[in-house]
């Protein structure tokens, strides 16, 4: 029977990791970003994922960022911490560290580069879930990043057979696969969109929410969109979807989190620094990002468009 995690719904934000000009984690700006999310109504914070450049963080930095998120949230939001890697033993170490840092649940990306088979993926997630006891585990399927797809049958088997595997963040873009999970999932198993642009249709099909990139820039609007859809207020949700769609699309003109960091820099919320191999976006991308921020009132000196 799936462990029920009632708070795992709505809009969660895949937090960016701000860096200083010397390459260190900018803890002051990170705390400010977390506070901004909470003030806007976000109740699920997701540090150390793809958007947080987790692949370039040391083990100590990852644990510190998760602890910072927990400390800053002070119980006002839950923390779903990224802890995945492409080695099962390393993932277990990261997951245990995230749990020790106070994370409420763990987000585990499918192993990348190795290209495991479906039995290999299943064995990996079973091993990690068993190693962290009753800590809730959310699977993360993003084939565009990992070069392997977590099939619906594998997700469903893990959901049915491993009690503390409580949900999946689905970013495959395969609606047929996601619908199969939604149709056949056990009671209590959460399905979260991993792609802002399909949040509305997936909630209409029964999904429970989103781990969002665009909510870094506009947490209030994305929270309103998600909650409106979950309530069945489709007219409001649809209007917000189309209002935010240009920004959702601009965020992926180049590899995430390039455009979203460019946007946050234009908004005055961080300095636009990355860790190699990521570099700042091209000027045409920067221009497009600014062009879509303007109508939303997100540039300095502009009036913010209320949710």
Place of tokens 């070069």: 147
Helix, strand, coil proportions of the chain in percent (round to 5)? 50, 15, 40
Backbone Cα Rg of the chain: 18
Assign 3-class secondary structure to 65-104: HHHHHHHHHCCCCEEEEECCCCCHHHHHHHHHHHHHCCCC
Quickly list DSSP for 175-189. HHHHHHHHHHPPTT-
Q: Is the dihedral of CA 288, 253, 196, 210 positive or negative?
A: negative
Candidates 113, 140, 242, 261; catalytic one: 140
Residues 6+ positions from 284 with CB-CB distance below 8 Å: none
Q: By the 8 A CB rule, do 16 and 52 touch?
A: yes
Measured in degrees and rounded to the nearest 5, phi and psi for residue 79 equal -120, 115
Candidates 113, 169, 242, 261; catalytic one: 169
Does 169 qualify as catalytic in the annotation? yes
Long-range contacts at 295-304 (CB < 8 A, ≥ 24 apart): 295/246, 296/217, 296/218, 296/221, 296/243, 296/244, 296/247, 298/217, 298/218, 298/263, 298/267, 299/266, 299/267, 300/267, 300/268
**Catalytic site residues?**
140, 169
């Amino acid at each position: 029977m799936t462990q029920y995690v009632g708070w795992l719904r709505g809009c969660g934000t895949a937090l960016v990791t701000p860096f200083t000009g010397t390459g260190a984690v900018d803890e002051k700006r990170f705390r400010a970003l977390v506070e901004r999310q909470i003030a806007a109504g976000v109740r699920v914070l997701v540090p150390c994922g793809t958007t947080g450049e987790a692949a370039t963080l040391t083990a100590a930095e990852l644990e510190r960022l998760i602890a910072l998120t927990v400390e800053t949230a002070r119980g006002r939001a839950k923390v779903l911490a990224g802890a995945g890697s492409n080695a099962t033993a390393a993932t277990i170490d990261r997951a245990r560290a995230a749990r020790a840092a106070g994370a409420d649940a763990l987000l585990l990306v499918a192993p990348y580069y190795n290209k495991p088979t479906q039995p290999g993926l299943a064995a990996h997630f079973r091993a990690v879930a068993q190693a962290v006891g009753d800590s809730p585990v959310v699977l993360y399927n993003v084939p565009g990043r990992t070069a392997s797809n977590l099939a619906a049958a594998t997700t469903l088997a893990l959901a049915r057979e491993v009690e503390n595997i409580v949900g999946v963040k689905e970013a495959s873009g395969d609606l047929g696969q996601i619908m199969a999970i939604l149709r056949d999932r056990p009671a209590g198993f959460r399905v979260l969109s991993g792609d802002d642009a399909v949040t509305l249709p997936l909630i209409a099909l029964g999904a429970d929410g989103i781990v969002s990139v665009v909510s870094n820039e506009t947490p209030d609007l994305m929270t309103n969109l998600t909650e409106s859809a979950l309530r069945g207020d489709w007219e409001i949700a649809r209007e917000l979807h189309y209002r935010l769609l240009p920004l959702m699309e601009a965020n992926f003109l180049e590899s995430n989190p390039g455009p979203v960091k460019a946007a946050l820099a234009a908004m005055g919320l961080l300095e636009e620094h990355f860790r190699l191999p990521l570099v700042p976006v091209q000027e045409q991308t920067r221009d497009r990002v600014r062009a879509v921020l303007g109508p939303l009132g997100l540039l300095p000196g502009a009036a913010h468009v209320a949710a």
